[in-house]
Amino acid sequence: MKIAFVVQRYGLEISGGAELHCRWIAEHMKKYCDVEVLTTRAFDYITWKNYYPRGEDIINGIPVKRFSVKRARNPRKFGRIQDYILKNEHLEKDELKWLKEEGPFSPALLKYIKRHEDDYDYFIFYCCRYYHSYWGINTVPNKSILVPTAEHDPVIHLKIFKDLLKKPRAIIYLTEEEKKMINSLSQNQNIPGDVVGVGIEAPSNFSAGEFLQRQGIKGDYIIYVGRIDENKGCDKLFDYFLKFKREKTSDISLALVGSTVLKIPSHPDIFHLGFISEKEKFSVLDSALLLVMPSFYESLSIVTLEAWALGKPVLANARCDVLKGQCLRSNAGLYYENYEEFKSALEILLSSSSLRKTMGDNGRQYLNKNYTWEIVENKFLSILDRLEQE
């Protein structure tokens, strides 16, 4: 069996959630079938400008075919169109215009899929909101499997997506909440699919001591890992954390890991560690008391699963269905909707080490039950088996 993963960007340097998920799944599925990746030359998800060389590449043993992006995205024009379609009555052609502007606009990739349809048994398309997935699924609907990675984003309610979500042969969801949302949105319960998620393996033998000393972090800290962005709720996190520090006499610090597009308040107890290696990330996560996830939109949150793999509890934004659902199912994290809840939940978690430990253990158990590679691979294979039998 030969499978093509079709994704907007692909590379070891790319840390976006969907792209990472695609790479990990592709690398694990190569044990069972021939796997190829069809992607663009883009690196930057804002403009999709061509960055990687054209042609074939091999990444971790997987052949990767890169196709040029014909027109880079103009963020201002895109914003204007998106604003128009979200606020006004519009036609389907307006939505398609938006989709073209959303990109990555790579006709070469679609042409390749059309020409080589017979060379592959299945095409697994990543991210329903992008141009390649929409037109790719419309090109080869009978061989397409969709991994929507959909969030509670207003654009998911566009009509083109309601129709699109009924077309693939199967859908692979990342969480129960995503499945529920997509089913209610497009009434596509008849399409086979399963909640697969991702396998998490925490590396062992690491120590954060030296690294933390270098960064000047002393004492206990809570950690946020991800893009430091308003869209990820980081501005609210800063407000809440600083208010918490003002109101409570706590020595706790906040460590931030990831690239930033937001001004970080200068405070002696807020540390920005920047973009760090995987090993360093796991070591600082392991030394933290808990992970805080202020994001409103998450389709899976790999870092939350990584925290549970290390036995760390999570304090999550309750306005994100996925995070709240994961906390409730795992009993491994508390959540908040406003400052009062943030303060109380943080206070409870900080003041009781046994609660942190028990919740961390719950997280680990939840992970072992749902997010090991063996389980994920089996779920993938059973979907493929089912399609073969059909």
Partner 1 sequence: MPEKNREVEAFEGFEEISIDYENIDVADIMSQIKRKISSQQKSSLQGEYFDRGESSLYPPEFEAVGEARSKIINLLLRIMRPLTPLIKLLTLPVYQELAETRRNLTKTTERTQRTKEYTKLLHSLTHNIIVELTKLKIEEENLKVKTRIIEKDLELLQKREKALEEKVFK
Which of 338, 242, 342, 247 lies closest to 290, judged by CA?
Answer: 342
Provide the minimum distance between the beta carbon of 140 and partner 1 in the complex, in angstroms, as a whole number. 43
Which of 13-21, 34-42, 86-94, 352-360 is the region at the interface with partner 1 (rule: CB under 8 A)?
Answer: 352-360
- Indicate whether 297 belongs to the interface with partner 1 (CB under 8 A): no
Return d(Cα 375, Cα 381) in angstroms, integer: 10
Provide the minimum distance between the beta carbon of 358 and partner 1 in the complex, in angstroms, as a whole number. 5
- Indicate whether 362 belongs to the interface with partner 1 (CB under 8 A): yes
Which of 130-138, 152-160, 259-267, 329-337 is the region at the interface with partner 1 (rule: CB under 8 A)?
Answer: 329-337
State which of residues 174, 200, 327, 383 lies at the interface with partner 1 (CB under 8 A): 327
- Indicate whether 62 belongs to the interface with partner 1 (CB under 8 A): no
Provide the minimum distance between the beta carbon of 248 and partner 1 in the complex, in angstroms, as a whole number. 8
- Indicate whether 320 belongs to the interface with partner 1 (CB under 8 A): no
Return d(Cα 385, Cα 275) in angstroms, integer: 40
* Residues 162-191 within binding reach of partner 1 (CB under 8 A): none
Provide the minimum distance between the beta carbon of 223 and partner 1 in the complex, in angstroms, as a whole number. 20
Residue 283 to residues 24, 175, 259, 310, 368: CA-CA distances in angstroms? 21, 27, 18, 10, 20
Do 69 and 42 touch, CB atoms closer than 8 A?
Answer: yes
- Contact residues for 52 (Cβ-Cβ < 8 A; gap 6+): 11, 41, 42, 43, 66
Nearer to partner 1 (CB atom), residue 213 or residue 352: 352
Q: Spell out, one character per residue from 331 to 350, where the chain touches partner 1: x when CB under 8 A holds, - when not.
A: xxxxx----xx--xx-xx--
- Contact residues for 26 (Cβ-Cβ < 8 A; gap 6+): 5, 35, 37, 62
Q: How many residues bind to partner 1 according to rule CB under 8 A?
A: 21
Nearer to partner 1 (CB atom), residue 181 or residue 332: 332
- Percent of the chain as helix, strand, coil, to the nearest 5: 45, 20, 35
Residue 158 is given by DSSP the state: S
- Indicate whether 353 belongs to the interface with partner 1 (CB under 8 A): no
Sheet arrangement for strand 193-195:
55-59, 62-67, 34-40, 2-6, 122-126, 144-147, 170-173, 193-195
Nearer to partner 1 (CB atom), residue 90 or residue 343: 343
CB atoms within 10 A of CB 381: 13
- Indicate whether 365 belongs to the interface with partner 1 (CB under 8 A): no
Nearer to partner 1 (CB atom), residue 189 or residue 351: 351
State which of residues 351, 353, 368, 378 lies at the interface with partner 1 (CB under 8 A): 351
Return d(Cα 96, Cα 252) in angstroms, integer: 49
Summarize as ranges the residues that interact with partner 1 (CB under 8 A).
Answer: 327-328, 330-335, 340-341, 344-345, 347-348, 351-352, 354-355, 358-359, 362
